[in-house]
């Protein structure tokens, strides 16, 4: 009687009878209406390869290769009323590398950047030794005046200029040749050697000797410089006005005047005219018959 009652009770509850097959788990079957959660099959691990910068073609981006898609595991559906999951953040832009650049490509470009040779180590006009600065193009107020690529010179081969003359590079290079090839060796160790040049004129948009109606001076194109004296290391000076015709100082100045013919196309001094009694006029004008020196 007791056994029959128990069987009837079990039948009324409609409990499933679990029959275990060999090797089968006795986990309960899912409830009716419940959604099964199916685990996604495991994906093989992505291959990792190191890419060298040399493998990139010119102009190709050096950004890291895109990572393989992240493995997605199915999740139960959200219950009604639950907040929607937030969207994944956008990938970060390419970051700098601590050197002020914008990533590896910018860093490589920065390392390959070459310095302007005309502004390195006191270098102007493509050579070493000319110190100063490059200026913007100078337009002339008169037709024919002006300098396309002017430079303002402060020193040449360590020899200071009393004024900072504004010249064309042709004139600056000629001045450097004259200093190195004649002035420094001619003066030698006298007074401790050459220390400076006293400059009294360089670029100026004017006529020759400021005479109204005359042709434009070479000063009007930055091609000329006027030198009145040579300063020595001991503070003394060889001056064109005072020393041209006297003793050893005069001989030095006359030799320097003669040596300027060649680096310069025009050399004028006290023997030229009354306008040049106190200075040398040096310019790079060219003539079919050679340099004009007086």
What pLDDT does residue 148 have? 96
H/E stretch holding 224: strand 224-232
pLDDT at 104: 34
The percent of residues in the chain predicted with pLDDT above 90, rounded, is 52
DSSP letters, 140-183, are: -SSTT-EESS-EEEEEETTEEESS--EE-HHHHHHHHHHIIIII
CB burial class (10 A; 0-12, 13-18, 19+) of residue 156?
Answer: buried
CB distance 16 to 29 below 8 Å = yes
pTM > 0.75: no
- In this predicted model, what pLDDT tens digit does every residue of 91-123 receive, in sequence order? 333 333 332 333 333 333 333 323 344 444 557
Position 141 scores a pLDDT of 85
- Residue 18 is predicted with a pLDDT of 40
pLDDT (tens digit, 9 = 90+) per residue, 178-220? 999 999 999 999 999 999 999 999 999 999 999 998 999 999 9
- Tokens 């007074």 belong to residue: 191
Domains of the chain: 130-293 (3.30.1380)
- The predicted pLDDT at position 27 comes to 52
Residue 195 has phi, psi (to 5 degrees) of -115, -30
Low-confidence ranges of the chain (pLDDT < 70): 1-122
pLDDT score, position 83: 43
Is the distance from CB of 107 to CB of 101 less than 8 angstroms? yes
- Name the DSSP letter for residue 184: H
């Amino acid at each position: 009687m007791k056994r029959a009652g128990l069987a009837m009770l079990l039948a009324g509850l409609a409990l499933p009878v679990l029959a275990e097959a060999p090797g089968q788990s006795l986990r309960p079957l899912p409830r009716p209406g419940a959604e099964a959660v199916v685990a996604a099959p495991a994906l093989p691990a992505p291959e990792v390869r190191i890419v060298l910068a040399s493998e990139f073609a010119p102009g190709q981006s050096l950004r890291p290769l895109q990572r393989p898609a992240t493995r997605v595991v199915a999740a139960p559906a959200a219950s009604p009323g639950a907040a929607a999951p937030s969207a994944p953040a956008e990938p970060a832009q390419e970051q700098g590398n601590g050197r002020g650049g914008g990533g590896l490509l910018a860093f490589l470009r920065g390392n390959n950047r070459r310095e302007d040779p005309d502004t390195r180590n006191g270098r102007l006009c493509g050579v070493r030794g000319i110190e100063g600065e490059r200026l913007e193009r100078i337009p002339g107020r008169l037709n024919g005046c002006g300098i396309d690529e002017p430079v303002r010179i402060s020193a040449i081969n360590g020899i200071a200029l009393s004024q900072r003359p504004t010249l064309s590079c042709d004139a600056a290079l000629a001045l450097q040749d004259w200093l190195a090839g004649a002035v420094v060796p001619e003066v030698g160790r006298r007074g401790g050697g050459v220390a400076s040049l006293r400059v009294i004129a360089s670029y100026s948009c004017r006529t020759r000797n400021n005479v109204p109606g005359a042709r434009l001076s070479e000063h009007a194109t930055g091609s000329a410089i006027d030198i009145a004296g040579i300063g020595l290391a001991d503070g003394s000076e060889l001056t064109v006005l005072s020393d041209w015709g006297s003793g050893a100082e005069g001989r030095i100045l006359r030799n320097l005047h003669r040596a300027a013919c060649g680096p310069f196309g025009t050399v004028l001094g006290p023997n030229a005219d009354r306008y040049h009694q106190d200075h040398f006029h040096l310019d790079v004008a060219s003539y079919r018959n050679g340099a004009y020196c007086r």
